[in-house]
Each structure stands twice: as C-alpha cells, then as structure tokens.
Structure 1
C-alpha cells in the first residue's frame, strides 16, 4: 500500500459512492434523460463541485453508472478459433441479458446510436455522443477484434462492425425483451454459425 493510499480521505470514497448510487437509481428509474448532473446532486446530497472532482463531465458519470449496473464483458482470451471466441462473447452477452435485460438493451441501443430521437439541443447531442463513445469503448470493444477476424474481405469499416454487432446482439435483445425465449447455448451457437455462414 502506498503512502498516498494510506492518506486517502475516506470522505472521497463516501461521496463517490453516494454520487454513483444516485446516478444508478436515476438511470434505472428513467433512463439517460433522468440522470442529469442536477438530479444526481439533488438525490445524492453531494455538491456539484465535489461531483466534478470525481467525474469531469456527465458522460463519464453515466458511463460509470452503466458499469455499476452492468459490468462490461471481458475480452475473450486468445485461445480457440474465431468461432469459439465469438461464441464466448455472445454467451456472455446472453448471460447479462438474463439478469438485466432492460439495462443491456439501453446500453446496446446507446452504443449503436439507437437511443431514441435525436435531442434538439447541441449540449444534449454532445453529451450523448460522448456517452456513446464511452459505452463503445467499454461494451463494444471486446467484440470488434473478433468480428474483424470473422468478417471476410479484408479490413472491415466501422460501419461493418456496427452492423455485425447488431446482427449478433439484436436477436438476443429481441428474445429477452419481446419473445421471452431463452438465449441458451444452442440458440447462441446457431446465431454464431448463421452469422459466420453469411459472412464467411
């Protein structure tokens, strides 16, 4: 343990925990629109200046709240075929959906730019664009190298990876939120095999 860790003010940990708890609650209750800086400070009882010591902007606060609610998937290890790694990712996503279907849907729709109407204000557009970058970094990144390896025809464009991710995750979301059919191993394996056959 370093000297810095020994001298850390415990009030910082308490204020950060209170801020995150408020952001998580607001995000769960009303989505991204409800989890504003003003709402979080009001609910947490933490001053705005203290909030900004922990989170320099609302996008970083919301990204941290998403990660509290739904930890990002770890990148698959290097072992196995691209199919094996892709299947591990899809199974991991299916497992998350089984525990928090609505929150996973919110994360993926935000990461895919499908989070509803485009906000009118420039500030809100900037906020959502920044949040989208954070979410892509945390939640989409594990898929990108595996998808790039699976897609035929050379170096894929970002849009190709977006479409590929949507083709894989969309059916999982549809099952979890609409049909309520299980995203079991057999379904995930068929999804991956159909995807690979189409893109082989």
Structure 2
C-alpha cells in the first residue's frame, strides 16, 4: 500500500505549517502591525527594534526569529502598507504599459501617500533619513535594494522600452524618468490636493513620451 505524505510548507520561520506554533503567527502579526504603524507615523527612522518591540509587546528574541535585522522588518512593513504593483502584461505598446503602471501608482499614492513618497525617495537614493551608524547604513542599502526589487522593477523594464532600449539608457536615465512621472502624482496628492485621474495620468505619460520617448513607440 502506498502511503502519501502531505508536503510541508515553510512560513519563513523554518517551521512546517502543520507543526507551527500559532503563537508565532500572532507575534509576527503584532510586530508587522506595530512596524507599519510606526512607519506611517514617523517614517523610516521611527521603525527601530526598540520601538517595535515596545509597541507590539513582543520580545526582541522573538522579533529576531521572524526578521534577522531592522531592514528586513522595514521591507515587510512597507509591503504591509503598500503592496507592490504587478508588472503590466506583455503584448501592449510601451505607452499602454507605462500608462497602466502610472494609473496603478496613482491609486497607490491616493491610498497611502506618505508611504508611497518614502518608497520612491528610498528607491531613488534621495531619502534624508540615512543612519549614521555604518552597520545601519549597510542594512539601509539592503532595504533600498529590496524596495527597488519590489516596487521599481516594473517601471524600470517599461521605461527602458519607452526610452529606446537598453544600450543607450543608463540607471541615471531611469531614475530621472521615474522621478518625472511619479513626482507630479505625489505633488498632486500631497501638495495641491488634486486628483490623479485618468485624464491627468494620460497627459502626463503622453507629455513625457513626446519629450523623451523612442520614435518607435
């Protein structure tokens, strides 16, 4: 007789799902809730190990079972507040794909403008909240790369197509292009309180492509 064994699932703590202590799920949820609240209230610098453990009531040793350092905790808090935008489907024109990303980003900014601003500042390396401690700066660099991987990659691929292809497009070109598209969305929401509706987003994309786009688009 053949015996079938249910495959175990790992939740990131190293414990198979069917044998996992439910207290680990509760402690992870409490930590993420605390970190997300601190991120919303105080920005990146507010999400310290001490602040998160104090607010959540979870011991430091338990925190480190879930998150090896503050950078990993911050990355998870960002994702809790603002899930990454999925990459647009293949097959459309670069303009259509870029417009879809800008429209999705406009909705994210409307939902959580402060968090979206922090994400884009971090991905552009423009955040003024750089820690002085060398170890913390290294962790911040790791965090920045995690944020880029989760939030910037869909834009990077489409912007390369819009700007004419990989050979002549530098990382600096991509940073500038992203700033030119995302900056007005943040300005609308956070400064002048104007909606980023489809008409505005379409004009933003078309104006950008008129100046910077590849002639083949």
TM-score surpassing 0.5?
yes
Provide closer, same or farther for how the CA distance between residues 36 and 117 of structure 1 changes in structure 2, counting only shifts above 3 A.
closer
Find the counterpart in structure 2 of residue 93 from structure 1. Answer: 105
Find the counterpart in structure 2 of residue 165 from structure 1. Answer: 178
Kindly name which structure, 1 or 2, has the bigger radius of gyration based on alpha carbons. Answer: 2
Choose which of 46, 57, 74 in structure 2 pairs with 1:62.
74
SS in 2 for 1:75: coil
Answer yes or no: is 1:27 the counterpart of 2:32.
Answer: no
Find the counterpart in structure 1 of residue 197 from structure 2. Answer: 184
Choose which of 7, 19, 30 in structure 2 pairs with 1:2.
7
Once the two structures are TM-superposed, the CA of residue 39 in structure 1 deviates from its matched residue by 1.1
Higher mean displacement: 36-45 or 60-69: 36-45
Structure 2: distance between partners of 1:5 and 1:153: 45
Once the two structures are TM-superposed, the CA of residue 174 in structure 1 deviates from its matched residue by 0.8
Once the two structures are TM-superposed, the CA of residue 125 in structure 1 deviates from its matched residue by 2.0
Choose which of 41, 45, 61 in structure 1 pairs with 2:57.
45
Higher mean displacement: 85-94 or 10-19: 10-19
Structure 2: distance between partners of 1:65 and 1:117: 17
Structure 2: distance between partners of 1:196 and 1:24: 36
Find the counterpart in structure 1 of residue 210 from structure 2. Answer: 197
Find the counterpart in structure 1 of residue 116 from structure 2. Answer: 104
Structure 2: distance between partners of 1:118 and 1:62: 14
Unpaired stretches in structure 2, ≥5 consecutive residues: 1-5, 9-15
Q: CA RMSD in A?
A: 1.5
Provide closer, same or farther for how the CA distance between residues 107 and 150 of structure 1 changes in structure 2, counting only shifts above 3 A.
same
In the TM superposition, what whole-angstrom CA distance separates every residue of 1:142-194 from its partner, at most 9, and x where no partner exists? 11110111112642221111111111101111111111111111111111111
The alignment's TM-score, normalised by the length of structure 1, stands at 0.94
Choose which of 123, 126, 129 in structure 1 pairs with 2:135.
123
Structure 2: distance between partners of 1:153 and 1:135: 24
Structure 1: distance between partners of 2:123 and 2:113: 15
